[in-house]
Amino acid sequence: MPTRASRFVLGLGLTSFLSLAGCVDDTVGDGESGADDHDHDHDHNEETEIITTVTLTFTPQGGGSPVVAAFNDPDGDGGVSGESDPISLTTGTSYDLAIAFTNELVDPPEEITAEIEEEAEQHQIFVYGEGVSGPAAGDDPTALVVHAYADLESSYGPNEVGEDLPVGLLGTVMAANAGTGSLQVRLQHLPELNGSPQKVPGLAESLAAGELLPGEVDASVSFMLTVQ
């Protein structure tokens, strides 16, 4: 495990964005994650970093131009609310999905993705939403897209604690059915608690079942999704 723990926090403009998008199931902070009761056990010396931009890149597996959509909160916790690009995918097409996190408040921009890779055993990304089927969304044959993980902790370094679990920076997305909906991306920070890992098997399935997750929500953003 890395000796330096980092906490990544999406700019406060996210709150207004989520309200605008009509997504009320997630917020930034401890309350939604169920972590308040254990706050005194957290490492208060961990480094806090800002995330201003979340970028999704869908690359067709059969070739073709990638589809890129980003959530951007240009002033972090300033007064401007973040906005997201719409996602438009083609029915019957399978895509490789890459998710990137960036802090653009500094010059040059800081690639938070690399730090998540370094702390892969402390982070997991969940993809779900109205129109999504997959580990964090549950099975739905009528869903617009089907998401699956395509990486493990060992993809980024030695798996030193517990099982070799998904991270979610890489995935696959199959555009299965035409329609409109939403796609949600959530980055969960899961540091060890009292010497025991909080990142354990089955977290995605727990989220799909409506259960609270351990750890803290570092980022939660929503995108309009169209499959045609």
Task: Provide mean pLDDT across the span 94-113.
Answer: 96
Tell me which residue of 114, 123, 106 sits closest to 191, measured CA to CA: 123
Q: Assign residue 69 a region (left: φ > 0; alpha: ψ between -120 and 50; beta: otherwise).
A: beta
Q: Say what the pLDDT of residue 1 is.
A: 40
Of the listed ranges 68-72, 100-104, 159-163, the one predicted with least confidence: 159-163
What's the pLDDT tens digit per position in 37-57?
334 344 444 566 799 999 999
Tell me the pTM. 0.82
Selected residue with higher pLDDT from 82 and 126: 126
Task: Provide mean pLDDT across the span 179-187.
Answer: 98
pLDDT tier for residue 9 given thresholds of 50, 70 and 90? low
Are 95 and 59 a contacting pair, CB within 8 Å? yes
Q: Say what the pLDDT of residue 79 is.
A: 60
State the Cα–Cα distance between residues 168 and 67, nearest whole angstrom.
Answer: 18
State the Cα–Cα distance between residues 160 and 1, nearest whole angstrom.
Answer: 6
Q: Say what the pLDDT of residue 17 is.
A: 31
φ, ψ for residue 9, nearest 5 deg: -130, 125
Q: Say what the pLDDT of residue 89 is.
A: 99
**Token couple for 3:** 């000796």
**Token couple for 70:** 């980003």
Rounded to the nearest integer, the mean pLDDT of the chain is: 84
Helices (H), 60-161: 112-118
- Does the pLDDT at position 18 exceed 60? no
Q: What are the CA-CA distances from residue 133 to residues 19, 126, 136 (Å)?
A: 23, 12, 8
State the Cα–Cα distance between residues 130 and 159, nearest whole angstrom.
Answer: 33
What's the pLDDT tens digit per position in 159-168?
998 899 999 9
Amino acid identity, residue 200?
V
